[in-house]
Amino acid sequence: MVSQGYQQPEIRSILIIILLVSLALVLPGVQWSLFGWTYILLPLFAFFLFGRFGGSTGKKLLLTAAAISLVANLLLGSFDLFLFSSAMLLPGFVLHRSADRGELPSLSGLKGCLALTGGWLIALAITAAGSEVSVYSQMLLTLDQALTEALAQYRQSDGISAEALVVIDATITQMKVVIPAIMPGILGSIVLFITWMTMVLGNILLARTSGFTAWPNFRRWSLPEKLIWAVIAMGTLILIPVEPLPRIGINCILLLMIIYCFQGLSITVFFMNKWKVPLLLRSFFYVMIIFQSLGTLVLLFFGIADIWLDFRKLKTDAATGNS
């Protein structure tokens, strides 16, 4: 990490930080449907606090907020949610330690994903202790029941034609088979997104508030070339008709596609900055390319093709610098 030294927060800043982190830990237990989204900010809070104020001060701030939120969650009867929220703080610490060692964004991201996954698994193990049904099984059962109820409502609706009902019936029936099969990949995608968002936004926040960064600018991030062999290996698993190998391959391919989409987005940001595209037009383009299925395919294509074509000439610059 390129650092100018850690700063010490003022009393007012300490109180504000503790309040914000405590609210992020407590509010989902008050009303999940309104405040559940605050969980994804917890790794960012932790990473920023460690990066801005150092490990010792960051730990004190987070432990104080965690103690306050623990009492509040016990009063609300939402101890399980407290466990999951606490697990969300772990990747922020791991990412800070990785950046402090000067590790590449790809390695730091891997460690952050493993930390978040491990934290969630520990929280699941604690909450499932003494229960005959795991949280994961309950989630799949709830999803299946929701799809069944949705199909029943469509069948009872008078405003849907017979042809449309046949399509809806086939679609929902297929979803009941496909979604449980790829659920590990879906959950892994959430882990990837939270880790990526923490790294990108945390890097920006540190640069703007402290004048130093944990990693290079996002537009210069690149994946290891050898990662493409993982794509080939997982694609091979899909073709082997021996369970659970195809299922493992599909879930891993899903995760790798998302990772390469991140690289494709990095390439897009690089050229947007190089061509000095106006901010408003740039923002509109980002929204369109991320939320459109065709845009996702474009990001995936550029992310994979960059291995051989080196669109940003990063390899050439590195070779020139070494020589």
Q: What is the pLDDT of residues 257-280, one digit of tens each?
A: 999 999 999 999 999 999 988 988
- 187 with 296, same domain: the answer is no
pLDDT for 300 equals 93
Q: What is the pLDDT of residues 231-244, one digit of tens each?
A: 999 999 999 988 88
d(CA 254, CA 97): 28
**Residue 284 pLDDT level (bands cut at 50, 70, 90):** confident
The pTM of the full predicted model, rounded to 2 decimals, is: 0.91
- 9 with 82, same domain: the answer is yes
Q: What angle do CA 253, 105, 1 make, to 5 degrees?
A: 165
- 97 with 4, same domain: the answer is yes
What is the count of structural domains for the chain? 2
- 173 with 235, same domain: the answer is no
* Cα end-to-end span (Å), the chain: 24
Average pLDDT rounded to a whole number, residues 105-125: 94
Average pLDDT rounded to a whole number, residues 79-100: 92
Domain boundary among 168, 197, 215: 215
Burial 142-167 (b: 16+ CB within 10 A, else e): eeeeebeeebeeeeeeeeeeeeeeee
Say which residues have a Cβ less than 8 Å from residue 247's Cβ, sequence separation at least 6: 181
Q: In which domain, by residue range, is 229 found?
A: 217-323
- 91 with 224, same domain: the answer is no
Handedness of CA 202, 208, 210, 214 (dihedral sign): positive
Q: What is the pLDDT of residues 2-59, one digit of tens each?
A: 545 677 788 888 899 999 999 999 988 888 888 888 889 999 999 999 999 988 899 9
Average pLDDT rounded to a whole number, residues 181-203: 95
- 138 with 285, same domain: the answer is no
- 200 with 235, same domain: the answer is no
Between these two residues, 263 and 81, which has the higher pLDDT value? 263
Which amino acid belongs to residue 126? I
d(CA 308, CA 176): 39
Domain boundary among 215, 237, 263: 215
pLDDT for 243 equals 87
Average pLDDT rounded to a whole number, residues 96-122: 94
Q: How much of the chain is helix, strand and coil, in % rounded to 5?
A: 85, 0, 15
Domain boundary among 199, 215, 231: 215
d(CA 248, CA 145): 25
- 13 with 118, same domain: the answer is yes
CA nearest 80: which of 128, 18, 140, 37? 128
- 192 with 70, same domain: the answer is yes
- 24 with 135, same domain: the answer is yes
Q: What angle do CA 227, 197, 118 make, to 5 degrees?
A: 70
**Residue 72 pLDDT level (bands cut at 50, 70, 90):** very high
